[in-house]
A and B are shown apart, each in its own frame.
Chain A
Amino acid sequence: MRPFDYFAPETLDEAISILRRRGDGGRLLAGGTDLVVRMKEGGLRPPYVVSLRKLSELRGIEFSEAEGLRIGAMTDMATIASSPIIRERFPILADGAALVGSVQTRNMATVGGNLCNAAPSADMAPPLLAVDAVARIAGAQGWRDVPLQEFFLAPGETVLQNGDILVELRVPTPPRGSGGFYLRHTPRQEMDIAVVGVGALVTLPNGDIEQARVALGAVAPVPMRAHQAEAVLAGKPVSDEVIARAAAIASQEAQPISDVRGSAAFRRELVRVLTERSLRGAVERAGASAP
């Protein structure tokens, strides 16, 4: 690793003013599981690094029926996967967090880092897209809220400008009778990157699908929603046929590439299979959460 200047500010304001003062090229450090690897092996040489570790504004998980869920950007995967409120009300988020890396990775890797790194395969992206998460960002220009759907621009690129910090994610309270599920395909059971990941969320207040979300990872330049598949599901009673149709449409909506992890055709087929499975998982959980 090349030398760099290091700052560990104690407040968000201080962090933002360091970024403003030092200008372009600096990097924010969260858990370091992407950044330190890139600085060691990827040739990334930031002149300065700002650690987010002391910023209490970026920590914590809170929930209320009125306000919904708030997850601080510095929350690590192990904490998300084991949080009682997330497991009870947002199990799709626990699914994603529990799949990331190893015990060691999950203790270090943060949700903010996962999103800001903007890998197409990021395992928290489809789950958070499926629950309509909103990114709350602080920067030199003040605060702004960006729906996660608009957050990713390209592989490794987000709406964050130099000087911006992702502070937290806000998730609305799920309607009664909703359930979500995330799963991925990897050649190895643990410690692998998703070839395809699919998150699904359904709301079944009385047996019919009132609303559905299907979010896909690793099959396009950015994590994406399969809007047409969602539209097919909305308003229909749950059936094998409608799930199969939605899955087939999702696989057409995907824009996969071929790479070492799989060919485009294989990924399309995986989208179909995994969309079916995640929709079934979501329906089952919605049933369990219905009164």
Chain B
Amino acid sequence: MSKHPIRLTVNGGQYELAVEPHRTLLDVVREELRLTGSKEGCGTGDCGACSMIVDGRLVTSCLMLAVEADGSDIQTIEGLACDGRLHPLQQAFIDYGAVQCGFCTPGMIMAAKALLDSDPHPSFEEVQRGLAGNLCRCTGYTKIIEAVMVAARQEAL
């Protein structure tokens, strides 16, 4: 099957690639761009480990064909730290013990970022709802939600 040329902006960098239509955005970002922060947990939209922000909207990149993302502006976990400084969400996840094995963390932080981008001061319930598509097998969620609430307060400062 023929490859299709696509153009992606990922974390501010421009990429021109030729991809086969059956490859997902997650595969292409991990395997072609070598950005392996985003994880594949389920591959079927249920766990959120592959969450990326595409044109400002949180998606599960395991269900998006890379060809469908042609022309899009994509943010992944690798794009959050700036000049060697962690994003407030990343710092809060560390400070509040919201990371255990870490497999869910990139997707969880992208979901939290998408939430705070649209609602800088979410309530506890709003954070729960905003992260409902992200599963964590380790932490029990309490510390994750706490970290997001703390990061939201800090960003406001």
Residue B153 lies at the interface, judged by CB distance under 8 Å to chain A = no
Residues of B within 8 A of A41 (CB): 43-44
Assess the B63–A53 pair: CB atoms within 8 A: no
Of A2-10, A86-94, A133-141, A154-162, which stretch is located at the interface? Answer: A2-10
The B-contacting residues of A in range 31-53, CB under 8 angstroms, are: 32-33, 36-37, 39-41, 49, 51, 53
Residue interface mask B15-41, A partner, CB < 8 A = 1: 000001111100000000000000000
Residues of A within 8 A of B106 (CB): none
Residues of B within 8 A of A108 (CB): 59-60, 63-64
What class of interface size applies to chain A in its complex with B?
Answer: 20 to 34
**Which of B2, B65, B111 is within 8 Å of A103, CB to CB?**
B111
Residues of B within 8 A of A190 (CB): 129, 132-133
Assess the B21–A103 pair: CB atoms within 8 A: no
User: Please, how many angstroms separate the alpha-carbon atoms of A36 and B23 in the complex?
Assistant: 11
The B-contacting residues of A in range 145-201, CB under 8 angstroms, are: 189-191
The B-contacting residues of A in range 204-230, CB under 8 angstroms, are: none
Residues of B within 8 A of A (CB): 1-2, 4, 20-24, 43-46, 48, 51, 57-60, 63-65, 67-68, 70, 111, 114-115, 129-130, 132-134
CB-CB under 8 A for A104 and B111, given A1-B22, A3-B22: yes
Assess the B21–A4 pair: CB atoms within 8 A: yes
Residue A56 lies at the interface, judged by CB distance under 8 Å to chain B = no
CB-CB under 8 A for A49 and B44, given A5-B1, A101-B133, A104-B111: no
Shortest C-beta distance, A77 to chain B (Å), equals 12
CB-CB under 8 A for A5 and B44, given A32-B63, A104-B133, A108-B63: no
User: Please, how many angstroms separate the alpha-carbon atoms of A102 and B48 in the complex?
Assistant: 9
Residues of B within 8 A of A104 (CB): 45, 48, 51, 58-60, 111, 133
Residues of A within 8 A of B (CB): 1-6, 8, 29, 32-33, 36-37, 39-41, 49, 51, 53, 78, 101-105, 107-108, 189-191
Assess the A103–B132 pair: CB atoms within 8 A: yes
Shortest C-beta distance, B134 to chain A (Å), equals 8
User: Please, how many angstroms separate the alpha-carbon atoms of A4 and B129 in the complex?
Assistant: 36
